[in-house]
Copies of this chain bind each other. A is one copy, B any other.
């Protein structure tokens, strides 16, 4: 492990924002006009190989500078650390950063400080995989069950899953891992598209996008709902008519409703044969999700949530007690791969299907590795599982996702697919980048 014997010498962080609000992209029932953004991190070491780790956490524009500040506060804990020690006790290192006695009060393990830590850990994972010359999914898949377990901080979840249980689950999948890897390399990981039906789009645009998506081979479609019931019914009808009765359709309310309202509203949409209702209410309301799930059961509609689920302790409750059917992990909300593995293990034990949240900036690039690892080593299946895809902003990444036949192709390049192009950084750094300077000069945005 000699190539790992080096120390972190530099951690840089950028505020990168894309002016997506200009095209109403990303609009939903709770987040009207947003500028998809990222706090973007690069890590350098004193190794002669010159390898740089790239990581990010996704944001919606304003406040990206708060996350940047948080990463700067975490920075001294990373600088000077020996990479070999970090990776050999990665679960412990994760706990050390997340449990910092003074910073912890600002979460704990949630919100700005947690997503900031996520960006740093994502960069560490990219660094690790690049040093091993493997994509992250393959780096993980090649680990022994013991190694995988050592990545995870089990604190606060041992009442739901013990290390020993987790180890046994992973060991059971060892024998058939190679077979699944072959299938993955051939067929990819199944995806659905959210690109066709954002709230801000007109009916005409919706129809056009839906037609195009069908032509591209998509078979699973998600529709944003929750702002206006009549609009929702009309839009769901348009899409169901376009895609026909057999394709899968999901709806997403982005936390718009109270518990009772969610149930009432959804009764009007059951006619459209929906696979799931996503984020029907507050992401903090485990008990509320349970009540909604019970009300939706007779209609065959599952409850999905997770993109705003703050950490493994909340996921423990959603998975074990909240009756969710679909668990939507996020590569930047949780504390990177380390914490996501904890969730994958609990989902496996309690029979919940992991269907990752993606889109945003780089979320597809990152989360594909995690869900592929889940297929190979944890759940061992893609049945009733599907990963979100949004056709947006991939052009800014050096190793963007590749979709073929409505499936994510397994990445081949080393790393976490998290590296942004140099020119994207210089164009979209906020507010000094060339694109922002132009928009500000033209008066299309103000500081």
Chain A interface (Cβ < 8 Å from any Cβ of B)? 30-35, 58-63, 65-67, 69-70, 73, 99-115, 155-159, 255, 258-260, 281-288, 291, 308, 310-311, 313-314, 316-317, 320-321
Q: What's the nearest-Cβ distance from chain B to residue A221, in Å? A: 24
A73-B66, A112-B66, A113-B111 known; A313+B291 contact, CB < 8 A: no
Per the bound structure, the CA–CA distance linking A286 and B287 in Å amounts to 9
Q: What's the nearest-Cβ distance from chain B to residue A127, in Å? A: 25
Q: What's the nearest-Cβ distance from chain B to residue A335, in Å? A: 13
Partner of A35, one of B69, B102, B103, B310: B102
Q: In the assembled complex, which residues on chain B have CB atoms less than 8 Å from the CB atom of A107? A: 111
Structural contact, A287 and B317, CB atoms closer than 8 A: yes
Structural contact, B321 and A101, CB atoms closer than 8 A: no
Q: In the assembled complex, which residues on chain B have CB atoms less than 8 Å from the CB atom of A157? A: 258
Structural contact, B67 and A63, CB atoms closer than 8 A: no
Q: Give the copy number.
A: 2
Q: In the assembled complex, which residues on chain B have CB atoms less than 8 Å from the CB atom of A285? A: 156, 313, 316-317
Per the bound structure, the CA–CA distance linking A325 and B285 in Å amounts to 20
Per the bound structure, the CA–CA distance linking A320 and B285 in Å amounts to 12
Q: In the assembled complex, which residues on chain B have CB atoms less than 8 Å from the CB atom of A111? A: 106-107, 110-114
Q: What's the nearest-Cβ distance from chain B to residue A383, in Å? A: 28
Q: In the assembled complex, which residues on chain B have CB atoms less than 8 Å from the CB atom of A282? A: 108-109, 156, 313
Per the bound structure, the CA–CA distance linking A52 and B285 in Å amounts to 38
Q: In the assembled complex, which residues on chain B have CB atoms less than 8 Å from the CB atom of A33? A: 101
Structural contact, B112 and A106, CB atoms closer than 8 A: yes
Q: What's the nearest-Cβ distance from chain B to residue A168, in Å? A: 19
Structural contact, B112 and A70, CB atoms closer than 8 A: yes
Q: In the assembled complex, which residues on chain B have CB atoms less than 8 Å from the CB atom of A105? A: 31, 34, 58-60, 63, 308
Partner of A159, one of B110, B291, B313: B291
Apart from A62-B73, A106-B111, list 4 A-B contacts with CB within 8 A: A108-B282, A108-B283, A284-B314, A287-B320
Per the bound structure, the CA–CA distance linking A239 and B158 in Å amounts to 32
Most B C-beta atoms less than 10 A away, residue of A58, A106, A157, A260: A106
Per the bound structure, the CA–CA distance linking A114 and B308 in Å amounts to 15
Structural contact, B69 and A281, CB atoms closer than 8 A: no
Per the bound structure, the CA–CA distance linking A157 and B285 in Å amounts to 9
10 nearest A-B residue pairs (beta carbon):
A111-B111, A112-B112, A62-B102, A159-B259, A284-B313, A156-B282, A60-B105, A61-B102, A60-B102, A69-B69
Structural contact, B101 and A34, CB atoms closer than 8 A: yes
Partner of A63, one of B73, B114, B288: B73
What would 11 A/B residue contacts be, using CB atoms closer than 8 Å? A30-B99, A31-B105, A59-B102, A60-B103, A63-B73, A65-B73, A106-B111, A111-B113, A159-B258, A285-B317, A286-B287
A31-B104, A155-B258, A321-B287 known; A113+B66 contact, CB < 8 A: yes
Q: In the assembled complex, which residues on chain B have CB atoms less than 8 Å from the CB atom of A62? A: 73, 100, 102-103
Structural contact, B60 and A70, CB atoms closer than 8 A: no
Q: What's the nearest-Cβ distance from chain B to residue A257, in Å? A: 9
Per the bound structure, the CA–CA distance linking A424 and B70 in Å amounts to 26
Most B C-beta atoms less than 10 A away, residue of A70, A99, A282, A284: A284
